[in-house]
Amino acid sequence: MSGGPAVRVSIESQCERQVQEVSLDGLETYVPLLSMSQNLAKLAQWMDFDQSSDSEQDGPERESREPWSKPEPEEDEGAVKFQPSLWPWDSVRNNLRGALTEMCVLHDVLSVLKEKKYMALDPVSQDPSTPQVFQLISKKKSLATAAQLLLKGAEKLNKSLAENQEQRRQRDFNSELLRLRSQWKLRKVGDKILGDLSYRSAGSLFPHHGTFEVIKNTDLDLDKKVPDDYCPLSVQIPSDLEGSAYIKVSIQKQSPDIGDLGTVSLFRRQPKAKPGKTWHVKLEAAQNVLLCKEIFAQLSREAVQIKSQIPHIVVKNQIISQPFPGLQLSISLCHSTGEKRSQGASPEKSKPDDHLYVLEHNLHQLIREFHKQTLSSVVMPHPASAPFGHKRLRLAGPMAYDKAEISSLQQSEGLLEKIIKQAKHIFLRSRSIQLQLNIGVEQIRVVHRDGRVITLSHQEQELQDFLLSQMSQHQVHAVQQLAKVMGWHVLSFSNHVGLGPIESIGNASAITVTSPNGEYTISVRNGPESGCKVLVQFPRSQAKELPKSDVLQDARWTHLRGPYKEVHWSRMEGRNFVYKMELLMAALTPCP
């Protein structure tokens, strides 16, 4: 455009050439430009012919064909675009040439092989199968693992089984212990289990401890056969309570020699000493022994302390007393431990019915009564400082009771006295039983004590009459026995007297007895219908209505018996005939 000054615009072409060097004088030397073929070669160098996918998929034949054809199209390409320089393609060409060579070789080899004349293919031997040793070892190992598992399992089972058995054994012991506990008192002291078999909790004051120990009996080898009487629990009783014992009460007529007392073991029963007695039997036996010991201790204590007219003899394990003259009551404690049998027989072979079981039973009952009294509400509960006894006795101290008051509160009769009374009663009673009635279907058979057998028919009147006659006879017999006991002498005795009024039922019987010193005589005539008639004969000195005789002048004749006097029997004191007679006899026996 015109109009203004011209602006000079400098145009510089892009610097296409790189500066190779700058000389010292500032002259720049440029790198010579590449020609177009050079440029192409440079770019071709950057290309990776191996990576192209098309060339890979072709088989080796293609490859064999390709090698010499490949450089040609590339050469052609080079020729089209640039002047190819073989220098960047060298490596490619070498690689290709190498591949070609190898393919040719391969081809040659294959073709030679095909002819099978000069070359043959031989397969390479495979790896052989593993030898048997290894098979064995591997099988062994696998079996061993399996066996290990099984063994572990078996071991576990065994253990659990053993545990079960052990538990069962333990459980047996525990169940036995439970049963034991339900019947006996047990307590645990340390690691021992102790029990109490004394009667202390029932009210006994006997100082024996009565402790037994419970022992576990589980050291049993379960492989061996379990014995029949096996019990996992056993008890150990105190040594002085071993064996069995009983109290023997007997009445003897003759008194044995004093020297023989206490030297002979009177144990009659042979104990069946079973070695494996169960705890129940053992404990009961031991408790019985303890009770017998207590009874005997109480009796002997009373025998020594209580002053009675008849002294009691206490020798070792026997107490002897004489309730009636000529009659001897012996109470002995018979204790045998399991090992030894009764040593020898006692000199008097006492008959079995000599052994008064009733009195033994009564002794047991009495001691149990005594125990109960200790626990009665009169005694229990009691303060710890008070002694055992009646409640009122606790006031004796503070109220300053004197001896009379104290004795009125305390028990008067002891065990021994009671037993002696009972023995007396038994003795008298046994002497009085005369009849035994066997009541049959049609008839009644009566067996008399002296062997007579009488058969009665069904009519009750007969029996009544018979019994009446027996009663009257019995009363006279009673007088006879009483006379023996009281020391009176029987002068005459007749079951069927011929004198006096005739009885319509049976016969009357009569007896005459005289006192020990001969002063008095009692005559009794007893009939079933006529009743009882008792006459007493006094010595002449006591009779007032006797005239003084000229013939009998000596004073001693007055001691003879004189006239008879009748006794108003119905007004006589006494519950029954025997009591009355006893009283009469006692009244006529003067005190010495």
Partner 1 sequence: SVFHVCQVPVAEGKSVQQTVDMLHKKLEQLGAVKQGNFWVDCETYQATGNATGQPTKLLYVMHNSETPLSSMALFEGGPGLTADANFDVLMVKLKSHFQNAKGHKVESRGTRYRYCDFLVKIGTVAMSSSARGISVEVEYCACVIPGDCWNLMKEFMQSFLGSSTPELPAVFTSKAEGLYAPVDCMDTMSQYLELFGKVRKQQVLAGSGVR
Nearest-approach distance from CB 407 to partner 1, in angstroms: 11
Please, which residue, 226 or 400, has the CB nearer to partner 1?
A: 400
Nearest-approach distance from CB 307 to partner 1, in angstroms: 13
Angle at the Cα of 31 (from 25 to 37), degrees rounded to 5? 160
Please, which residue, 401 or 557, has the CB nearer to partner 1?
A: 401
Residues 6+ apart with CB under 8 A from 95: none
Site string for partner 1, 283-322 (x = CB under 8 A): ----------------------------------------
Judge contact between 538 and 563, C-beta under 8 A. yes
Q: Which residues pair with 235 in a beta bridge?
A: 214
The answer for 262, left when phi > 0, alpha when psi is -120 to 50, beta otherwise, is left
Nearest-approach distance from CB 412 to partner 1, in angstroms: 18
Please, which residue, 404 or 555, has the CB nearer to partner 1?
A: 404
Site for partner 1 in 195-214 (CB under 8 A): none
Please, which residue, 189 or 400, has the CB nearer to partner 1?
A: 400
Each as own residue / partner, the long-range contacts of residues 231-235 (CB below 8 Å, 24 or more positions apart, any chain) are 231/176, 231/276, 231/278, 231/279, 232/169, 232/172, 232/173, 232/176, 233/173, 233/176, 233/177, 233/180, 233/279, 234/279, 235/180, 235/195, 235/279, 235/282, 235/283
- Told to check if 546 binds partner 1 by CB under 8 A, we report no
Please, which residue, 334 or 393, has the CB nearer to partner 1?
A: 393
Site for partner 1 in 554-573 (CB under 8 A): none
Per-position DSSP letters for 33-58, written without gaps between them:
PP-HHHHHHHHHHH--STT-HHHHHS
Nearest-approach distance from CB 399 to partner 1, in angstroms: 7
Of positions 403, 568, 571, 575, contacts partner 1 by CB under 8 A: 403
Nearest-approach distance from CB 403 to partner 1, in angstroms: 7
Site for partner 1 in 4-63 (CB under 8 A): none
> Residue 34: which of 54, 17, 55 has the closest Cα?
17
Q: How far is residue 221 from each of residues 157, 166, 217, 218, 224, measured CA to CA in Å?
A: 20, 11, 11, 9, 6
- Told to check if 406 binds partner 1 by CB under 8 A, we report yes
Nearest-approach distance from CB 373 to partner 1, in angstroms: 20
Please, which residue, 386 or 552, has the CB nearer to partner 1?
A: 386
Nearest-approach distance from CB 494 to partner 1, in angstroms: 51
Nearest-approach distance from CB 397 to partner 1, in angstroms: 3
Q: With CB under 8 A, what is the number of residues at the site for partner 1?
A: 13
Site for partner 1 in 383-402 (CB under 8 A): 385-386, 393-394, 396-402
- Told to check if 532 binds partner 1 by CB under 8 A, we report no
SS3 64: helix
Q: How far is residue 578 from each of residues 322, 449, 464, 481, 574, measured CA to CA in Å?
A: 21, 19, 22, 10, 8
Please, which residue, 149 or 386, has the CB nearer to partner 1?
A: 386
Rg (CA), the chain: 68
Please, which residue, 398 or 451, has the CB nearer to partner 1?
A: 398
Site string for partner 1, 357-386 (x = CB under 8 A): ----------------------------xx
What is the H or E stretch that residue 538 is in?
Answer: strand 531-539
Q: How far apart are CA 36 and CA 424, in angstroms?
A: 167
Nearest-approach distance from CB 379 to partner 1, in angstroms: 16
Judge contact between 266 and 247, C-beta under 8 A. no
Nearest-approach distance from CB 389 to partner 1, in angstroms: 10
Please, which residue, 333 or 393, has the CB nearer to partner 1?
A: 393
Nearest-approach distance from CB 377 to partner 1, in angstroms: 21
> Residue 241: which of 115, 336, 171, 355 has the closest Cα?
336
Please, which residue, 368 or 394, has the CB nearer to partner 1?
A: 394
Q: How many CB atoms lie within 10 A of CB 95?
A: 13
Judge contact between 569 and 581, C-beta under 8 A. no
Please, which residue, 268 or 394, has the CB nearer to partner 1?
A: 394
Q: Six-digit token pair at 588?
A: 């006529």
Please, which residue, 224 or 403, has the CB nearer to partner 1?
A: 403
SS3 190: coil
Residues 6+ apart with CB under 8 A from 548: none
Please, which residue, 324 or 401, has the CB nearer to partner 1?
A: 401
Cis peptide preceding 590, ω within 30 of 0? no
Judge contact between 174 and 182, C-beta under 8 A. no
Nearest-approach distance from CB 382 to partner 1, in angstroms: 13
> Residue 476: which of 514, 505, 502, 510 has the closest Cα?
510
Nearest-approach distance from CB 387 to partner 1, in angstroms: 9
Q: How far is residue 288 from each of residues 149, 196, 284, 293, 377, measured CA to CA in Å?
A: 61, 13, 6, 9, 27
* Footprint on this chain of partner 1 (rule: CB under 8 A): 385-386, 393-394, 396-403, 406
